[in-house]
Amino acid sequence: MANADARGISRRRVVKSGLAVAGARIAGPFVMSARAAEAVRIGLDNPLTGPVASLGKNELIGCQMAIDEINARGGVLGRPVELIVEDSTSGDAGTAVMKARKLIDRDKIDFLLGNDNSALALAMAQVSNEKGILHIVPGGHTDAITGSSCNWNVFRVCNTTQMEANAVAAALIEQYGKKSYYITPDYAFGHTLEAAMTKAIAALDGERVGGDLTPLGTVDFSSYLIKAQAANPDVIVFLVPGDDMLNAMKQAVQFGLQNKVHLAGAHQEMEPLEGLPPEARIGVWVMEWYWNQPGVPHVAEFVEATKKRTGRVPTARTWFGYVSVWTCALAAAKANSLKALDMAKALQDFHLPPEIALGPNPAFYCAGQNQLLASLFVGEAQAKGSAPDDFFKVTKVVNGAKVAGTLEESGCKMKWPT
C-alpha cells in the first residue's frame, strides 16, 4: 500500500508539474501580450452580466464613444488611449478585486473605472488606493464612496442618494402632498436614500406616515402595497431601483392604486422604465441625466452619435461612462502628467467642458470630496412622449451643487499622501 502511494504521489507530482507548465503556456500569452507600449490604458471593471448587466453595458458604450472621440483628437498627452474591459460579474467582491489587480499589475492601466455595484466599488477603491491609481466610479451610488470611505484617488460621477433625495423632495410635496409612505429596499443604497428623503421632506414640513423595508429582489410587493394603502398617505414613495421598481410599479398599477394614492419615487433610470408597460409609466421621479434636453447645446449631437452606434437613445449610464473616460483624459491634460497624485489634485473643483457636461448647469468635481456635481432632472414618467424613447417629462432641472450637502455632512475626511 505504501509503495503504491509513493508511486502514485510521484506520478501526481509529474502530472501536476506538467499541468503547471501547460498552465504557464496558456497564461504565457497574457503576460507577454503585445499591447501597444505607447498607449495610455484605461481599465473598466464593471458588471456586464447579472442583474445590472444592462446598466454596465450602457456605461461601456459611453466609454467607447469617449475613447473614439479622444483618439480622434490626438489622444492623451499625444498618446493613443485604449480601453481594457473586464467583467466584474455581479458575483462577489473577490472577482472584481482580482480583475482590478489584474488590470493594474499585469495590464498596467493608468486609470481604473468601476463599479456599478456599491460593494464592488468600495472593494475596488481599496485596491486602487493601495496601488495609487486614479479611480473613477461611473455609477456606484453608495454615499460612502465620496463620504465616510472617501479616498484622494477615487472620484464619482453619479449622484449621492442625499442629492437625489434633496432634488425630488420639494417636487413631491408641492405636487402630491405632505404624507408619504416609503417602500425602501433593504440595503445600503435604500437606507441612505430613505434617510435622506425623510430629512428632506421633514425640512419642508412633510410627514412620514410609515414605511417598509423590502428585501432586495422581492418579486411580489402586494403585501407591502396593501399595508401602504391602509396607512392612507398622499403619496407612496418607491425607493426600490431597477427590477424591484419594475415589479412594484407594475403591481401597484394593476391594483389601481394610482387612483387612490399618488405613486412616486426618487432614483429612476431609463433601463427599467423601458420594461414597464406604458400604463405603469407614471409618477414623479428624479433622473441623473436625460437625453431630451431641448435648447441645451451639444446634447443633440451626443444623442445622434449614440443612436448611430446602438439604435437607442443614450441613458444616464451612457453619459456616466462617457464622462468617466473623458475625466481621465482631461485630468491628464490639465496636470500634464499621468501621475495619479498630480491628476487628482488637478481634478479638485475641475469643471467639465459643456460638450461633456451635457446639461444646463455647470458640472464640476467638488474639492475635498471628489464628487461630481452637475444637474438632476426631476420630472414625470410618461407613457408616451414627443419621440419614441421619450418616457420622461422633465419638469425641473436642479443644480446639483445646490442640493449637495456640506463636506461635513458627507463624513468625508480625505487624507492626501505626503
Partner 1 sequence: MLLFAPFWMNAIGGYTELATRIVVMGLAAMSLNFLLGFTGVLSFGHAAYFGLGAYGTAMAIKYWAVGSIPAIVLGVIVATIAAMIIGALIIKLRGVYFAMVTIAFGQVFYFIAFRWNAVTGGDDGLTGWRRLPINFGFAELDIVQNDRAFYYFALAIFAVCVAAMAVLLNSPFGRSLIAIRENERRARFLGVPIEFHVWLSFVISCLFVSAAGGLYALLNNFIDPRALRVDLSGNLVIMAVLGGMRSFWGPLIGAAIFVALQDYVSSQTQNWMSVIGLVFVLVVRFFPRGVLGMLRTGAKA
Partner 2 sequence: MSQVVLFNVFNGLIVGAFYALMALGLSLILNLSGVINFAHGGFLALGAYLAYTLIPYIGFWGALIVAPPLTAVLGLVIEWLLIRPLYGKDPLYSLLLTFGLAYIFEDVTRLIWGAQSVPFQVPGWLMSSLSSQYFFLTGYRVFMMIIVAAAVGGLFAVLKYTRLGMRIRAGTRDLDTVSTLGVNVRVLRSLNFGIGIYMAGLAGVLAAGLLGLSPTIGANLIMPSFVAIIVGGLGSLLGTLIGGLMIGVASGLAAVYFPSATEAVIYVMMALVLLVRPRGLLGEEGRLH
Nearer to partner 1, 107 or 207 (CB): 107
Q: Which residue, 397, 400, 329, 318, is CA-closest to 365?
A: 400
**What are the strands of the beta sheet with 111-113, ordered from one edge?**
81-87, 40-46, 111-113, 134-137, 154-156, 371-373, 364-366
CB of 81 to partner 1, least distance (A): 19
List the single partner that 74 binds among partner 2, partner 1, none, CB under 5 to 8 Å by kind: none
With residue 122 as reference, give the H or E element that holds it: helix 118-131
Which CB sits closer to partner 1, 259 or 418?
418
Nearer to partner 1, 188 or 401 (CB): 188
Cell numbers that stand for 280 in this block: 405603469
From the list partner 2, partner 1, none, pick the one residue 383 interacts with, judged by a Cβ distance below 5 to 8 Å according to partner type.
none
In the complex with partner 1, the residue whose CB is nearer, 231 or 414, is 414
Residue 225 binds which of partner 1, partner 2, none (CB < 5-8 A, kind-dependent): partner 2
Binding site for partner 2 (CB under 8 A): 49-51, 53-54, 57, 186, 212-215, 217-220, 222-227, 229-230, 243, 246-247, 250-251, 253-257, 260, 271-272, 274-279
Cβ proximity to partner 2: between 86 and 271 the closer is 271
| String of DSSP letters for 175-224 | HH-SEEEEEEESSHHHHHHHHHHHHHHHHTT-EEEEEEEE-TT----HHH
> Considering CB distances under 5 to 8 angstroms, the limit depending on partner class, which of partner 1, partner 2, none binds residue 255?
partner 2
Which of partner 1, partner 2, none has residue 130 at its interface (CB below 5 to 8 Å by kind)? partner 1
H helix count then E strand count, the chain: 15, 14
* Residue 277 binding: pick among partner 2, partner 1, none (C-beta 5-8 Å cut-off by kind): partner 2
In which element (H, E) is residue 5 found? Answer: helix 2-31
Residue 108 CB, shortest distance to partner 1, in Å, is 9
Per-residue cell: 314 = 443614450
Nearest approach in angstroms of CB 13 to partner 1 is: 6
Nearest approach in angstroms of CB 358 to partner 2 is 22
Residue 384's binding partner among partner 1, partner 2, none (Cβ under 5 to 8 angstroms by kind) is none
Shortest separation between residue 219's beta carbon and partner 1, angstroms: 15
- Cβ at position 99, least distance to partner 2 in Å: 19
Spatial separation of the C-alpha atoms in residues 133 and 369, rounded to whole Å: 17
In total, the chain counts a number of residues equal to: 418
Please identify which residue in the block is written with the cell numbers 449637495.
404
Query: Binding residues for partner 1, per CB under 8 A?
Result: 9, 11-13, 15-17, 19-21, 23-24, 26-28, 30-31, 48-49, 86-87, 89-95, 97-99, 101-102, 105-106, 118-120, 122-123, 126-127, 130, 142, 144, 149, 186-189, 191, 215-216
CB of 84 to partner 1, least distance (A): 9
Task: Determine contact, residues 80/332, Cβ cutoff 8 Å.
Answer: no
Q: For partner 1, which is the closer residue by CB, 84 or 235?
A: 84
Distance of CA 30 to the CA centre of its chain: 30
Cβ count within 10 A of residue 338: 17
CB closer to partner 2 out of 24 and 387: 387
Pick one of partner 1, partner 2, none as the site partner of residue 187 (Cβ within 5 to 8 A by kind). partner 1
- Minimum CB–partner distance for residue 71 and partner 2 (Å): 27
Q: Based on CB atoms, which residue is closest to partner 1, 19 or 36?
A: 19
The answer for residues whose C-beta is within 8 angstroms of residue 244's C-beta and 6 or more apart is 185, 214, 216, 217, 218
CB of 89 to partner 1, least distance (A): 7
For 257-260, which contacts have Cβ atoms below 8 Å and span 24 or more sequence positions? 257/225, 257/229, 258/282, 258/283, 260/229
Query: Among residues 49 and 223, whose Cβ is nearest to partner 1?
Result: 49
